[in-house]
Every structure is written in structure tokens, then in C-alpha cells.
Amino acid sequence: MTPEDVREKALKLWNSQKIQRAHLEGRSLFPWEIPVPKPAAKVLAATFSNVRDEVRLLRENSKDVLGHGYRVEYQRVIHRRLGDQSLPNRVVLDSLEDFLQLTGKRKEFQRFVELSATILTAQQELQSFLIRRPSVVLEHADDWMRLLAVCRYFLGHSKPDLYLRQLEIPGVHTKFIEGRRAILAELLETVLHTESKVPGITGLSDHGFERRFGLRIEVPTIRFRLLDSTCSLGGLTDASVPLPEFGKLSLPVRRVFITENKMNGLCFPDCPEAMVIFGLGYGVRCLAEIPWLQKAAIFYWGDIDTHGFAILDQLREIFPNMGTFLMDEKTLLLFRELWGREEPGQRFMKQLTRLTPGEKALFESLRNNRWGESIRLEQERIAFGYVRQVCASL
């Protein structure tokens, strides 16, 4: 074992966060021992000169010589050829001071001590969190004053029902909170009482932070066109409204078309007692919140590719009786010269359980490359005259 070996093992102890955790728990890890492996008798005889040099180097860099760092304990070994030898048995760091001197971590540890004291003085409830995650103390060293300010705000303003932009926290701007949602979520989970959090929400996806801690989020906007002028809203046939307001509408339509492509929605042909909703993509699940849609005949128009059928399958969970529009084998083959390709690594390859037999057969044919590698037919490549013809036949 060399002095550098000792230092590397000590640094692994630092990186494991055991030193920091022990400080927070008010206990010591010292003396800390590192066993020194002993060479076999044959190896010792064959490499004695090298072993002797290593032992000397280990001692010259030890506490016995330098006055700090590690201490070497020896064990007497009787060798048949070499006689009595004193070989290192273990290396010992007697104190935290020796450890910090050896690793060069004195400033970092002092910073850790000061910051953790500041944090716990402000929010004693965070002690268990810091013991579990001591690394966050230094990872967010420059942020703690503002992180604690956010915690204090939420402790005093349970479920504020404001947008992030509206929070008035001295010294803390919106971008700071947005960029540190992950650590703030962990802190707020720890310091806030159960009644100050919205139950059943985990993670940060889908505005999880805002919803969990009672902040407002931007609701989806529904873009739609009324395809029958007699069904207009005070003369309006093209509108975008927030989802909750869309749910309150009472529209005299019996057919609803849902399509991904914005331009196709804008160009969709006139159709009696009908409307088209467009531009939602995978966000179509939000339509589950619109009860009056359940009473209409709904048709989905997506790309003829693996993701188009995946969205269709998702929609069928909400609208089990929903039909499709221009998503059949006839349409695909009719516009063969306009086929494109899906990115091979981004195709939807999982099983779909809500497709009709015909839809499933087409999906499987696409997935299995029946007509070519990763082919697709995008909505906007279908001739508009054909769109109008099929729409008139419904």
C-alpha cells in the first residue's frame, strides 16, 4: 500500500458522504482503519527490495514523521529466509483532523458545517432530510438562502393558488424556482404538513411541482372550428378557449372530428352539424374532462404511422366507440407515392389493445414493415379533394 492508495481510500470515504452524515448525527467515524494486505511468503522473498521501499515510503509520509495524517501499525512476521520482519498491518486515521489534512477537504468540510448549521437553524425539520441526502448541502451551496426563503413562504402560504410568476418572495425570482423544482420539491415535502400538499401527486412531470404545492398552472387551450355556419357561436366559427371553458359550451353538433395537424384543422371541409378539434397530439387525453363530447359521434384523423395508432388507442380509453377518418389501408395504398418514413428508433412498438381488427391489422403491417421500412403517410399529404369526398360520405 502506498501513501496515494491511503489517500484514495480516504477520498472514497468522503465521496460516500459518511463523514458528512456522521457530523449531522453527532457521531465520529474515527479512529478509521485501513487493513494493509500482506504479501505471500514467496512473493515477499521474490520482491523484498520493492516491499522494503514501499514500507519506507509509507512510513516517511505517515503521522509519525509528518506530525499529521495517517499512522501505521506494524506486525512482526517471521520469514524462513528473511528472518524477523516488521510489516504494516493497518493504516489508522486517528481523528477527523488527520482525515481532513490527508484529503485536503478542510475548507469543504468547514463550508459543509457552516451551511448545515445555517439550514438547521432556519428549518430544524430538515435534519432527517440532510442526514439522508448530505450531498445537497454543498451541491446547492450558493442557493440555500433562497431555498429556505421559498420554504418559509410556503409554510406561511399553504396552497397559495397563484402562478409561480405571482409569488412575492424577497430575493427570489421565478426563474430560480423553475430551475430548482427538484430540490425544492424534496424540501417542501419535508417541511410542509400533509394538509398543505395536494394528495396523490408525485414527480415533476405534467406540472407536478405546481399541482402538488397548490400553485396554478396554465390549462390546455382547445382550438376548434365549427364546420357548419348555422352552429356558430355568435358568428364565431374558429376559436381557442381554455379547457374548463370548453367544457361549459353547449354546441349543436352531432359529429366531432379530432385531428393532429393544425393546417388540416384549418382546411377541414364544411360538414353539417360538425366541428373539428385540432393540434392536441398526445394531449388529447384532456378531452376526457369534456362530458358533452360523450354524446357526439367522434372521428379521429391521425397520421397513418405507429404513433397515429398509438394516439388512437389512447383516445379509445376515453371514447370507446370513436371511429377513424382516413386511417385505413385503402387510403394508405392510394397515396403510395407520397409515403414518408418514421425515424426507426422513434417508432411506437408496444402492443395496442383498443384497436378494431382492421386498425390492428394495419398497425401490425406498419410495425412489421409489410410495405417497406418504417413507412408512414402524413395527414397533410392526402389530397384535399379526397378529404372532402370521404367527409361527404360520412
The secondary structure of the chain in percent helix, strand, coil, rounded to multiples of 5, reads 50, 15, 35
What does the pLDDT read at residue 234? 83
What's the predicted TM-score (pTM) here? 0.68
How far is the CA of 176 from the CAs of 58, 166, 184, 191, 257, in angstroms? 49, 13, 10, 19, 42
- From 212, 242, 267, the end of a domain falls on 212
Total domains in the chain come to: 3
CATH number reported for the structural domain that contains residue 287 in this entry: 3.40.1360.10
What does the pLDDT read at residue 42? 66
How far is the CA of 60 from the CAs of 124, 258, 271, in angstroms? 45, 79, 92
The per-residue pLDDT string of the chain (394 residues; one tens digit each, 9 = 90 and over) reads: 899 999 999 999 999 999 999 999 999 999 999 998 776 666 656 566 676 778 888 989 999 899 899 999 888 765 556 656 778 889 999 999 999 999 999 999 999 999 999 999 999 999 999 999 999 999 999 999 999 999 999 999 999 999 999 999 999 999 999 999 999 999 999 999 999 999 999 899 888 999 999 999 988 889 999 999 888 888 889 999 988 899 898 888 999 999 988 889 999 999 999 999 998 866 777 888 888 888 899 999 999 999 999 989 988 988 999 999 999 999 999 999 999 999 988 999 999 999 999 999 999 999 999 999 999 999 999 999 999 999 888 8
Residue-wise pLDDT tens digits, 214-249: 999 988 889 999 999 888 888 889 999 988 899 898
Is there a single domain that holds both residue 381 and residue 247?
yes
* Residue in the block written with cell 432527517: 128
Is there a single domain that holds both residue 76 and residue 140?
no
| CA gap 175, 184 in Å, rounded | 13
Is there a single domain that holds both residue 323 and residue 347?
yes
Is there a single domain that holds both residue 336 and residue 370?
yes
Neighbours of 227 (CB within 10 A): 21
- From 212, 245, 279, the end of a domain falls on 212
* Residue in the block written with cell 489534512: 101
| CA gap 212, 9 in Å, rounded | 42
Is there a single domain that holds both residue 119 and residue 28?
no
Going through the chain in order, the beta strands assigned E by DSSP cover: 32-35, 71-79, 83-93, 221-226, 238-242, 255-259, 274-278, 297-301, 323-324, 340-341, 375-376
What does the pLDDT read at residue 97? 95
Measured at the CA of 390, the angle between CA 386 and CA 391, to 5 degrees, comes to 115
- From 48, 82, 104, the end of a domain falls on 104
Is there a single domain that holds both residue 156 and residue 178?
yes
Is there a single domain that holds both residue 357 and residue 378?
yes
Amino acid, single-letter form, for residue 250: S
Is there a single domain that holds both residue 18 and residue 47?
yes
Q: Give the domain range for residue 260.
A: 221-393
Is there a single domain that holds both residue 136 and residue 197?
yes
Is there a single domain that holds both residue 291 and residue 388?
yes
Is there a single domain that holds both residue 175 and residue 71?
no
Is there a single domain that holds both residue 19 and residue 70?
yes
